[in-house]
Structure 1
Amino acid sequence: MYLAHETWPDLEEYVAGESLAVVPLGSTEQHGPHLPEGTDYLIARALARAATDRTGHLCTPPVTVGVSPHHRQFHGTTWVDAPVFRDYVESLSRNLTYHGIDRIVYVNAHGGNVDHLREVGRRLRDDGTAYAVEWMWDESIPDLIDEVFETPGPHGGPKETAMIMHIARDLVREERLEDARDGGRTDLENVPATLHGARVSYDSVEISDNGVFGDQTDATPEIGERLFEAATDQLVALLEWLDDQPFDDLVPDPHVDPQPGSRR
């Protein structure tokens, strides 16, 4: 059920019997010379729509700009500062709770959003407003990714390339796959990002000249379909589990005894 395509009476009927919403989030940032800047939100939106089509749950429009300042040296990258992103997502989430939603799954496809979405989820849970969790598609199927790719890469690599080949192949510049590999970084064991235990790089251009990692030539639409279906299965399982939980079991217990030994 896609919120933007429904009327308010249809949505009134939904929240009369359901209280779960899915929010897809990604970014608009460089993904190398071969993938569109909307890669992350395109993947998140496609997975969220596929899973909610199967379960009947509510899916919101995607959040298309995320926390991406580490890609700013590449043309077209847009971003919002982390506090702005957190406040926006929290405000959107509280808006959903006003309409009867009390559990939310953030279907996320951008690593830069992860910590901030988890913080928002904690805020909402700690005050008892809603139970919100961040879900990252590639973290749900790590064994399959390791099985199909020798060098999957954390950004702009074959896993994202294969996914976009499956959901929006016309947006992939397939003639640039070798250039993406040769101009990026395939050696993921010796990335010069840390030194003596400290993180010494802030921006992706400092460790990859064209901003991507992994061997993009390993990607195919057929592999992308396998990844997409496997990740969708995992998301469906999460939605069904969350929908079955009593809300009281999802929120924190009250303090066991704020004043031990006192009589009130």
Structure 2
Amino acid sequence: MTYYITEMSWTEFDERRKSAKTVIIPSGACEVYGPHNPMGADILVAKKMSELLAEKVNGIVAPCLEIGQSKTLTSFPGTICIGSDLLKGVYAQIISEFVRLGFTRFFVINNHLGNTPPLTEVLWDAQQKYGIKYGQVGFWQYLPVITDKLGIWDTPKPHAHASEAQTSVLLYLYPELVHMEKAVNTPFKPDNYPGIIKDIPYCKQTDSGLLGDATKATAEKGKIAVETALEAMAKYIQERLEK
């Protein structure tokens, strides 16, 4: 059984919406993700996690954009980005369409940090306008919250861009798209001004497109991370959104 609205006939969707309460919206990007990972890593993981989560809670997976606000990464070939205003407009319309179809519960799995501020604004505006209930995770930023206590990571900064944690998740979900023979360790440069958002292009921080050590990634670590995240997100939906 599919959970993607785009894979359902209209009659199947009409029947499924009688029991499904929560719409799960994937969000991601098409951008540099190291020499070993696909550039669609963010959106691929967001869509797969949305599908797995929908299976747990009997949700509907919404259509989504496959690009995001990735302006800081455009110096690397292949990164495709859109501005925040356009991103907000599309996701706001997606939510309004599902409201029209009778849904009031939404959960966003967002795998790209640049999308978080505009998506947060969209969800807040929809709450004020339609009275929806929602949750959102910046998935890569959510992983440290729920996995660091498990002691599964081996590197000092496992959650850096395309590093140990993110590559492990990709190895578990999309092993055929990850080329570990190309994985590298790109150490962080010293930061004498922590906490300040700087005007330093991403390409000045790394020539590989990743930060941290991706060579320590494994599918086993990714499996633990994915299953732990799914359990926590499903609990939120069932105990907070759908009650």
* TM-score, with length taken from structure 2: 0.89
The one of 221, 230, 233 equivalent to 1:223 is 221
Which residue number in structure 1 is paired with residue 181 of structure 2? 175
1:135 CA drift (Å): 1.4
Q: 1:237 to 1:138 in 2, by over 3 A?
A: farther
Which residue number in structure 1 is paired with residue 102 of structure 2? 100
Which residue number in structure 2 is paired with residue 237 of structure 1? 235
- Any idea what the Cα deviations from partners look like across 1:18-39, whole Å, max 9, x if unmatched? 4320011111000011111000
Larger radius of gyration: 1
SS in 2 for 1:135: strand
Q: Aligned partner of 2:71: which letter?
A: P
Q: For structure 2, which runs of at least 5 residues remain unmatched after alignment?
A: none
1:208 CA drift (Å): 1.9
The one of 120, 134, 137 equivalent to 1:135 is 137
Q: 1:227 to 1:27 in 2, by over 3 A?
A: same
Which residue number in structure 2 is paired with residue 144 of structure 1? 147
Question: Displaced runs of 4+ in structure 1, greater than 6 A?
Answer: none
The one of 59, 62, 67 equivalent to 1:60 is 62
SS in 2 for 1:230: helix
- Counterpart CA distance in 2 for 1:120 and 1:144 is 28
1:8 CA drift (Å): 1.3
- 8 Å Cα contact 2:168/2:221 also seen in 1: yes
- Any idea what the Cα deviations from partners look like across 1:54-76, whole Å, max 9, x if unmatched? 22111123421111011000010
SS in 2 for 1:36: coil
Which residue number in structure 2 is paired with residue 257 of structure 1? none
State which drifts further: 105-114 or 235-244.
235-244
- Any idea what the Cα deviations from partners look like across 1:186-245, whole Å, max 9, x if unmatched? 46xx346x47x6422253112222221111111011111111111111121122124433
Which residue number in structure 2 is paired with residue 35 of structure 1? 37
Identity %: 20
Q: Aligned partner of 2:38: which letter?
A: P
Which residue number in structure 2 is paired with residue 250 of structure 1? none
1:7 CA drift (Å): 1.5
- Counterpart CA distance in 1 for 2:43 and 2:214 is 19
- Counterpart CA distance in 1 for 2:138 and 2:13 is 27
1:81 CA drift (Å): 0.6
- 8 Å Cα contact 2:20/2:58 also seen in 1: no
- Counterpart CA distance in 2 for 1:2 and 1:50 is 11
> How many residue pairs are counted as aligned between the two chains?
237
Paired residues for 1:75-94 under 5 Å: 75-94=77-96
State which drifts further: 8-17 or 162-171.
8-17
SS in 2 for 1:76: coil
Q: 1:243 to 1:185 in 2, by over 3 A?
A: same
SS in 2 for 1:101: coil
- Counterpart CA distance in 2 for 1:244 and 1:133 is 11
Q: 1:135 to 1:27 in 2, by over 3 A?
A: same
Paired residues for 1:12-27 under 5 Å: 12-27=14-29
